[in-house]
Structure 1
Amino acid sequence: MEFPTGAEACDTSDVRIWVLRVPDGISASSLDLSVLDQEERRRMASFTHGCDRTVYAFAHVALRTVLSGLTGAPPDALRFTRAPCPCCGEPHGRPVLASAPLEFSLSHSRDLVLIGVAPVPIGVDAEPVPEPEAVEQIAQLLHPSECEEVEAAAPEDRPAVFARLWARKEAYLKGLGTGLGRDLAADDVRGDLPGWRLTDLPLAAGHAAAVAVNSPDPRTVRVHRSL
């Protein structure tokens, strides 16, 4: 996949990624929370720490800003629903727009926010590189080939190797709509998967990120660094 940058117009077959940093010094109260719906406000209020509320609010206001720009609908008029879960068929799969043929995915990690938009199902994920102790505990849950790749790396490189694989796996599971309800060992995400293209994304140091796109053919990935 290609990685042109900028906010220039693109073909509707493009995958578009916004990599945003939460500005220093802002708070949830300084954002235009009027664009959020009742469920978003409820979830925002459920966070104990103010910094978590701020990141959540910034991410969801940014998501609505992006989708508004692409659909022409006002940010507060956008309505979301859920696709059927591939595991059980119940309506708690990936989030979808109720009235526009665009697919999207949202991820945030510390002060970084990742938004992906495409004409086909998409998943994005950003992960901080974990501590070595966490890698030792969680790597065993991965696909055997993924686990072997982590263990084959030099000890100092294992956290970064694990973070890359974990971001690819989370992006794929978000695109599927199963989330972590699917067995972590079921899929080897070191390469593409049937019907899906998995691509690492350039991000800030200390983070790994990936996008999974439900497409048999390569698509141009356009990365934007601002709204």
Structure 2
Amino acid sequence: MTEASTGTLIGARTAPRPPAAAVEKGGLHLWALHGPDRDDGPTTLPTAELDEDELTRAAAFVRPLDRLRYVTAHIALRRLLAAYTGVAPGELLLSRAPCSSCGGPHGRPVITGSPVPLNFSLSHSHGLAIIGISAATVGVDVERLPSPETTQMSLPALHPREQAELGRLPPHERPAAFGRLWTRKEAYLKGIGTGLTRDLGADYLGEDRGPGAPEGPPGWTVRNVPGHPGHVAAVAVPSHTEQCGTTRRLPLKSLYAEDADELIATVKERLCTSLPAADGTALGAASGV
């Protein structure tokens, strides 16, 4: 398969359709998918839409439920990207850009040959997947709430100021605070294209002080994403992002429906996470929809 200079795929099995969904300039769309809790559900997932690398990774999971959740998250990702690009899910060419630090093959995920300039990030943990889609660079992370033991064991890896902040909290508050901090840190590292290959203690992410807070890595806005009991999540975007980040819940039936892109286009936003405007002022407020 080759690519034309315009980015249109040549030799694809189906011609790209007009995109059913679009993200506004400077905007951010966050999608949440609550995956299966058991591994004895429907077995008709369209796994043919996954590429060889995804199928290999899926087969490596020992627990059937973990395998099913991985497959579900990646089918959801491809169907969402198909809605935004007009390219069929199974024909999207997904790969990794070189790491921005070492040049290794573990940088930000990219779409090769997309007719629509688009950036995305996927994270999933224990049944919850979060997918960020933006015209700008984006990183997302989601984790299950950590245990006190995990929190204590991981503290030495953090920035000294972060260790001090967590140490001042009552012990019963530390796991949740650590989880919020850790997801902000991972979202940021995904956003800059290094992932966990970068020293976790090199950057101060600290507390999420809300819109307009000056603290944080230069040039980046990193916010926790509320609304997911039992999990903590975060998103990182360049500071010039001017819109609020809207969160939508992806219906499970969109993983099976033939008209998934039209279904996706009709989903309404549920939550708006404030991001700063170019002058540092806050836009919007967290609100149910």
For the criterion TM > 0.5, the same-fold answer is yes
Distance 1:38 1:84 in 2: 20
User: Structure 1 pair 140/24, CA: closer, same or farther in 2 (3 Å)?
Assistant: closer
Distance 1:79 1:49 in 2: 28
Offset at 1:177?
1.6
Q: Percent identity?
A: 45
Structure showing greater radius of gyration is: 2
Distance 1:159 1:198 in 2: 19
Q: Post-superposition, which runs of at least 4 consecutive aligned residues in structure 1 deviate over 6 A?
A: none
**Amino acid aligned to 1:69:** A
Which of 144, 164, 172 matches 1:128? 144
Which of 60, 63, 66 matches 2:74? 60
User: Structure 1 pair 143/38, CA: closer, same or farther in 2 (3 Å)?
Assistant: same
Q: Does the 8 Å CA contact 1:203/1:209 hold for their aligned counterparts?
A: no
Deviates more, 1:106-115 or 1:126-135: 126-135
1:29 is paired with a residue whose SS is coil
User: Structure 1 pair 12/217, CA: closer, same or farther in 2 (3 Å)?
Assistant: closer
Alignment partner, residue 193 of structure 1: 217
Offset at 1:29?
3.5
* Superimposed CA distance per residue, residues 2-52 of structure 1 (whole angstroms, 9 cap, x where no aligned partner): xxxxx9865232100001101345658331101001111011001111011
2:236 is the counterpart of 1:215: no
2:68 is the counterpart of 1:46: no
- Larger RCO: 1 or 2 (CA < 8 Å, sep 6+): 1
Alignment partner, residue 159 of structure 1: 175
TM-score scaled by length of structure 2: 0.72
**Amino acid aligned to 1:158:** R
User: Structure 1 pair 119/143, CA: closer, same or farther in 2 (3 Å)?
Assistant: same
User: Structure 1 pair 38/9, CA: closer, same or farther in 2 (3 Å)?
Assistant: closer
Alignment partner, residue 139 of structure 1: 155
Distance 1:225 1:188 in 2: 31
Q: How does 1:97-112 map to 2 (within 5 A)?
A: 97-100=111-114, 101-112=117-128
Gaps (5+ residues) in structure 1? 1-6
**Amino acid aligned to 1:17:** L
Q: How many corresponding residue pairs? A: 221
Q: Does the 8 Å CA contact 1:28/1:57 hold for their aligned counterparts?
A: no
User: Structure 1 pair 221/94, CA: closer, same or farther in 2 (3 Å)?
Assistant: same
TM-score scaled by length of structure 1: 0.91
1:30 is paired with a residue whose SS is coil
Q: Does the 8 Å CA contact 2:29/2:246 hold for their aligned counterparts?
A: yes
Alignment partner, residue 14 of structure 1: 27
2:97 is the counterpart of 1:73: no
Gaps (5+ residues) in structure 2? 1-19, 207-214, 251-263, 265-289
Distance 2:172 2:198 in 1: 29
Which of 168, 175, 193 matches 2:184? 168
Distance 1:40 1:142 in 2: 31
Alignment partner, residue 224 of structure 1: 248
1:12 is paired with a residue whose SS is coil
Offset at 1:198?
0.5
- Greater fraction helix: 1
Distance 2:146 2:24 in 1: 37
